[in-house]
Structure formats: structure tokens, C-alpha cells
Amino acid sequence: MTPPPGPQTPDESTTRTTSSVKLTGLTKRLAALDQAQRENIGDFLTTVAATDGHVSPEEIKILTRVFKLLGLDPASVYSRVHAATTGGITAAVAPVTVRASSPGAHAYAIPPAPAARPDAGAPRDPAAPVQLDAATVAAKLAETSAVTALLGSIFTDEEPAPPSLPATTGPSIAGLDAAHSTLLTVLVGRGSWARAELEAECAGLGLLPDGAVDTLNEAAYERVGDPLVDGEDPITIDPAVAQEMQA
């Protein structure tokens, strides 16, 4: 995820992190995360969105969508945003585990916690310069870097591009291109498909199965708010979502 040139506001950062990334292969990558990692990502993105003290309706929509993808309760977005904007989410002062260490994995060195200062409870002179706790700042930066690295590993497109085939013509459904619209029309004809059948249909359209499923689900989230396709083998089609997408 390479940021564009120039400074980014927290709102821009959140929007780019969660909305401009293609969802190719995302389902399988998220399946590898444990609940603690999902919670850390949810809190991290909520905190970033609330950094400027204001969370727009568009950011709420994006966070809700990401929470669904993470398997977190979408209804908790509002309470987490409220906690973040009112100071309810406290910045960590110790390392937060987002992924268990493994041999050879890149790690961040976290400084030891600082000793308590004798004047910790004394009122600060308004004229005195603000003193930042270097260890706390370093810990927060390490936490942010770790979560960002985890997000980067999730949202990196690892699938090769499919071979170029002649463009498929046909009507567009739910904002999809012709190939994905054709696949959608085929899949909604039945409630369940074997993995091999899905792969055969995708091959005929020049699509990668995992990427095609994620593209259909991305369109379903945009149009309906729920996924169209679920499962691995067999895959199932939600008829209610299919009907709304084709309306």
C-alpha cells in the first residue's frame, strides 16, 4: 500500500486503507487471523479515523464494512468511535501482540517501560514546554508499525493477473464489469456450487476464482450490505442478496 505524494489527513489515511484496496484473496487472508488480531485491527482503524476528533458518515460506512469483513460486530462501530473521540480508547504504553513471533520474522525492539517520575502527580506549569515520554511514543510507533505491517500483508494482492481474453459483452449488474456480471447471472441460478464447478465457470470467463468471489462480495456489500457468496466447497449463494443485486 503505497501512499500518494503529499501529507495525508487521518480521514484520508483511513479511507485509503479500507476503501481503495481491491479485495482479491482477502477472505482467505482474514481467515488466518485470530480474534485478538481482528480486534486490534478494528481498534486501530477506529482510532485513526477519530484522530482529528470527527468521524464522517462515509468513514462510519467504511468502518462498518471492514468490521463485517473482520467478523466483528458492525453495531460496535458507533460505540468504538464514541470511545475514540471522547478518549475512551487509551493509547497503549506496552507492546500489543498482533501476530505471534516466528523464527526469522522481522521484529520491532520495544524499549523498557520508564521508571515513575517523582513529579508525576504535580500540576504542569502552562508556560513550561510539553515533555513527551520517549518510551511511550516509541511503543506507540512500534504498535502502529506492527498493525500496519499486518494490514499490508492482508491487503497485498498476491494473485497473478489472469490471461488476457476477449472482452465479454453483456449488461452490467450492480456496477460489475461484463465478465463478473455474467458470472453473477450464472451463479444465482443455483443455491450451491461445487468448487470445481466455480473454477470451470471462472476459467471460461478469464477470471480467478478467489478474486471473482471477492469482487462479487464487494459489489454485494456496496449494494446490499451483506455477502452474496459464502463457503469454500461447496459455495452457497444467498438468494435474497442475489435478488437485490439484480433489481
Given this model, what pLDDT does residue 164 score? 47
Q: Is the model's pLDDT at 158 over the cut of 60? A: no
Distance separating alpha carbons of residues 12 and 150, to the nearest angstrom:
19
Q: Among 1.10.1060, 1.10.10, 3.30.420, 3.40.50, what is the CATH number of 178-246?
A: 1.10.10
Percent of the chain with pLDDT over 90: 0
Give the range among 62-66, 88-92, 147-151, 162-166 with minimum mean pLDDT.
162-166
CA 33 to chain centre: 12
Give the range among 18-32, 39-53, 176-190, 195-209 with minimum mean pLDDT.
18-32
Is this prediction's pTM over 0.95?
no
User: Average per-residue pLDDT in the chain?
Assistant: 71
Q: Where are the alpha helices (DSSP H) in 155-227?
A: 178-187, 195-205, 209-223
- Mean pLDDT in residue range 140-156: 60
Q: Locate cell 505471534: which residue?
A: 100
- Give the pLDDT band (50/70/90) at residue 15: very low
Asked whether the beta carbons of 27 and 213 are under 8 A apart, the reply is yes
Distance separating alpha carbons of residues 11 and 35, to the nearest angstrom:
26
- Give the pLDDT band (50/70/90) at residue 10: very low
Which letter does DSSP use for residue 107 in this model?
-
Q: Locate cell 460496535: which residue?
A: 76
Distance separating alpha carbons of residues 11 and 235, to the nearest angstrom:
36
- Give the pLDDT band (50/70/90) at residue 16: very low
Domain ranges in the chain? 10-99+134-154, 178-246
- Cβ-count burial of 242 within 10 angstroms (0-12 exposed, 13-18 middle, 19+ buried)? buried
Q: Is the model's pLDDT at 139 over the cut of 60? A: yes
Q: Is the model's pLDDT at 22 over the cut of 60? A: no
Distance separating alpha carbons of residues 129 and 113, to the nearest angstrom:
22
- Give the pLDDT band (50/70/90) at residue 17: very low
Q: What is the pLDDT of residues 166-197, one digit of tens each?
A: 444 556 777 788 888 888 888 888 888 888 88
Percent of the chain with pLDDT over 70: 54
Q: Is the model's pLDDT at 19 over the cut of 50? A: no
Sign of CA dihedral 63, 64, 68, 69: negative
Q: Tell me the three-class secondary structure of 37-105, residue by residue.
A: HHHHHHHHHHHHHCCCCCCCHHHHHHHHHHHHHHCCCCCHHHHHHHHHHCCCCCCCCCCCCCCCCCCCC
